Structure 1
Amino acid sequence: MLKEKLNNIQKKSLKERFLLVLGILFFLIYLVLGLMIMFWKKLPLDMEPKYRYAFGGLLIVYSGIRFLRLINSKEN
């Protein structure tokens, strides 16, 4: 199964591989940004803690949605 997935990635065109890497990069950016907003206290955001956690959680959920879309697009 792993060989099949690696073979599928190798068959993709250069554009498709670039978009895959870009999708993974933005997934990681949204995930790290959400975690930073939630837990980095010295981040210069003038927000109450409950709003920081809500906004950080929203970014983490959005990164999860992007990841699921990325996985589903790879299968097609």
Structure 2
Amino acid sequence: MLSNNNEKQKSPKRRFLLILGVAAFIGFCVLGLMIIFWDNFPLDLPKSQRTIFGSVILIYAVLRFSRYLRKDPNEN
């Protein structure tokens, strides 16, 4: 069913890319949180470096997802 603001239904390609983008976002978030909070994570880094590395991964996930949500000007 179409919404009230006259938006067209998304194409199958656009829907697939949305699902893929959400899956990548969730995967990067889980990886970042695992690096930060998992004490026995198999990286031999001090806690401060693990926190920075995990935070960088979380920031990358947010930036990647926000770029995806930005509407393409060439798209109808």
TM-score normalised by L of structure 1: 0.80
Tell me the residue number matched to 1:72. Answer: 70
The equivalent position to 1:19 in structure 2, one of 14, 17, 20, is 17
Larger radius of gyration: 2
Letter in structure 1 aligned against 2:21: G
RMSD, matched Cα: 2.2
Structure 1 stretches (4+) deviating beyond 4 angstroms?
none
Q: Which has the higher helix share?
A: 1
TM-score normalised by L of structure 2: 0.80
The number of residue pairs the alignment matches comes to 72
The CA distance in 2 between the partners of 1:74 and 1:63, in whole Å, is 19
For structure 2, the 5+ residue unaligned runs are none
Cα deviation, residue 47, structure 1? 0.8
